[in-house]
Structure 1
Amino acid sequence: MIFKARSTMTSALNKLLFLLVIAMQPVYNLVLASNTMTDSTIAPIKTIKLASLEWYPYQGSNLPNQGVATDIVMTVLKSKGYEVEIDYLPWSRQMRELENHRFDGILGAYFTKERTQKFIYSDCYLTSSEYFYKRSDSKISWKKLSDLKGYKIGLVRDYANSPQLDNADFLHKEYVNSDIANIKKLLNGSLDLIVINKKTAEYLLITSMAPFFNDIEAIKPPLITHKLCILFNRDDPKSKQYIADFNQGLAKIRKDGTYKKILQRHGFTP
């Protein structure tokens, strides 16, 4: 009788323990999932510091989401766990500061072969076309650069134009520090032509230069269409990881439709 009582008690205890294990299973699964998520999907926040330019409508501290280029770059980097810091500086200073490792990268830079000696690029995330602009009452046209001999051409200092134009020593080229300065010189007759990004010219001519909207115009064909990328210092050991993360994130937002939505939000054609 004693043995039977003990057997019955043991059976009841085992049954109770079994029921307790079953009852605790959801809690265990939740804890396990939480631990797995912490280990594999929640990465520590990383900070990346980028230099940028007041270059409308692509980049600008006063633009919605700081412009289409900034919107794309920040969306991608934040999706990869980065906290993004942006400082706005003149272009020439950006290049010096990047070379001296005061920034991790330059947010928007045209790809040029010359720059690859010191710097490396992310994948391209936008394209941008440069045009010659003239006064609307001018008869200047061109098919090849030699057609422009004898004209005064305004460029922005340290901007990448086209290799052919940059190396065309037979042309008269004058340099200033901004696109607006060039537009003003074109309007007052100090220059015959300027080189400027078409969307930048259109933006300036409906905002700060609106009274002169009909006074200057682009000359076809475009001088060059550039690829816009993030520029990183070649000898920074972190640069390759930045590029790998950005390129992976960019491919993802192109695929899931986010990239197209960003372009449309800023009035750009996908």
Structure 2
Amino acid sequence: MQDDIQNEQLTVTYFTHGLQHTIQGKKTAKGYRFNGSSNKIINLATLNWPPYISEELCNKGWVFQFTVAILVSKGYQVNIHFYPWARSVMLVEKGQMDILFPEYFIESSAPSDIVLGKKRRELLVLSNKFSGGELSLLKRPDYSFDLQENLGNLTGKIIGVVRGYQNTPEFDAVMDSKQFSIVEAVDELQLVKLLVAKRVDLIIGDPKVFTYSINYSSLSNRNKQALLNGIEIVQPALKYNHLYFAISHSYPQWSQLLADVNLALLEFQQSGESDRFIKVGSGCTLDL
């Protein structure tokens, strides 16, 4: 079984200047590797976050495919490692890996939980943005709650958050001032379970990720449906969050890497490649 995992073959296809490029990758002990002949080696830390990126998706998700294409188009060897998000943050902020993705925008004032006394933006530099998704509060259908614009009625609530996530500057400021209590979870599926079990009043995240995390879980269909029926999006959404690559300042050529990533993002946007990756999506259908 281990040999099957190590020999897993992956294909990423992208277009530049009207030419099709197909890259074969494989899972190794050092992550999912593409363009292995290049000596410009990049190690990336990420998380399972369907439908954007996940080892459970048939092609690992559009953000996985997009990231491989962006970096390989500039000649880099790509090694993508999946971890719980808090560990991914730690590895990149400590300089043990080179890129953290997909990341939300990081405010210049945001402190690092990993390197005490440092701001996150002292440890990481953000690429230009690419497409992301909505960030919303979710509640139980029988829980009466209307969101106030200034978030004032979050005071005294118990809210579930994923450990290590940025949310919105406004929400995180209220959270840091301890106006409400938080319960930390390792991922979105655990958050939904906390909400449905009435351990928390609200949870925060991308609604698409909550839905996909339930559908791609190992739960029975009956339990999946119970969780799906047990959550409701609070309107309006808090924010549309773009996604970013966060590059470690510890990477020796971080400035060149940043320039290469930003140029590739621009080229893919102008050529329509970015939209094509999103349209193709995970390339998977749910079997429920």
Does the alignment reach a TM-score above 0.5?
A: yes
Cα offsets for 1:10-33 (capped at 9, x unmatched): xxxxxxxxxxxxxxxxxxxxxxxx
Residue 182 of structure 2 aligns with which residue? 173
Structure 1 stretch displaced more, 73-82 or 199-208: 199-208
Residue 218 of structure 1 aligns with which residue? 233
Q: Assess if the C-alpha contact under 8 Å between 2:42 and 2:98 holds in 1.
A: yes
Residue 194 of structure 1 aligns with which residue? 203
Q: Assess if the C-alpha contact under 8 Å between 1:204 and 1:210 holds in 2.
A: no
Q: Assess if the C-alpha contact under 8 Å between 1:72 and 1:262 holds in 2.
A: yes
Task: Give how far 1:220 is off.
Answer: 0.9
Matching of residue 158 in structure 1 with residue 180 in structure 2: no
Residue 28 of structure 2 aligns with which residue? none
Q: Assess if the C-alpha contact under 8 Å between 1:109 and 1:230 holds in 2.
A: yes
Q: Assess if the C-alpha contact under 8 Å between 1:161 and 1:224 holds in 2.
A: no
Matching of residue 229 in structure 1 with residue 234 in structure 2: no
Residue 87 of structure 2 aligns with which residue? 93
Task: Give how far 1:88 is off.
Answer: 0.7
Task: Give how far 1:81 is off.
Answer: 1.4
Matching of residue 51 in structure 1 with residue 45 in structure 2: yes
What SS class does the counterpart of residue 221 from structure 1 fall into?
Answer: coil
Task: Give how far 1:225 is off.
Answer: 2.4
Indicate which of 115, 128, 140 corresponds to 1:123: 128
What SS class does the counterpart of residue 238 from structure 2 fall into?
Answer: strand
Q: Assess if the C-alpha contact under 8 Å between 1:232 and 1:239 holds in 2.
A: yes
What SS class does the counterpart of residue 64 from structure 1 fall into?
Answer: coil
Distance in 1 (alpha carbons) for counterparts of 2:105 and 2:259? 17
Residue 251 of structure 1 aligns with which residue? 266
Distance in 1 (alpha carbons) for counterparts of 2:73 and 2:236? 38
Residue 277 of structure 2 aligns with which residue? 262
Distance in 2 (alpha carbons) for counterparts of 1:193 and 1:252? 40
Indicate which of 145, 155, 162 corresponds to 1:149: 155
Distance in 2 (alpha carbons) for counterparts of 1:210 and 1:71? 30
Distance in 1 (alpha carbons) for counterparts of 2:83 and 2:238? 26
* Percent of aligned pairs with the same amino acid: 27
Superposed, 1:128-143 pairs within 5 Å as 128-143=133-148
Superposed structure 1 runs of 4+ greater than 4 Å apart: none
AA paired with 1:87? Answer: H
What SS class does the counterpart of residue 263 from structure 1 fall into?
Answer: helix
Task: Give how far 1:44 is off.
Answer: 5.5
Give the structure-1-normalised TM-score.
0.77
Residue 183 of structure 1 aligns with which residue? 192
Residue 84 of structure 1 aligns with which residue? 78
Residue-pair matches, total:
226
What SS class does the counterpart of residue 128 from structure 1 fall into?
Answer: strand
Question: Measured at CA, do residues 107 and 170 of structure 1 come closer, stay the same or move farther in structure 2, by a change above 3 Å?
Answer: closer
AA paired with 2:209? Answer: T
Structure 1 stretch displaced more, 215-224 or 199-208: 199-208
Cα offsets for 1:177-202 (capped at 9, x unmatched): 22111111110111111111121022
* CA RMSD between the two structures: 2.0
Distance in 1 (alpha carbons) for counterparts of 2:172 and 2:136? 14
Question: Measured at CA, do residues 158 and 119 of structure 1 come closer, stay the same or move farther in structure 2, by a change above 3 Å?
Answer: same
Task: Give how far 1:164 is off.
Answer: 2.1
Task: Give how far 1:56 is off.
Answer: 1.2
Distance in 2 (alpha carbons) for counterparts of 1:71 and 1:64? 11
Name the larger-Rg structure.
1
What SS class does the counterpart of residue 120 from structure 1 fall into?
Answer: strand
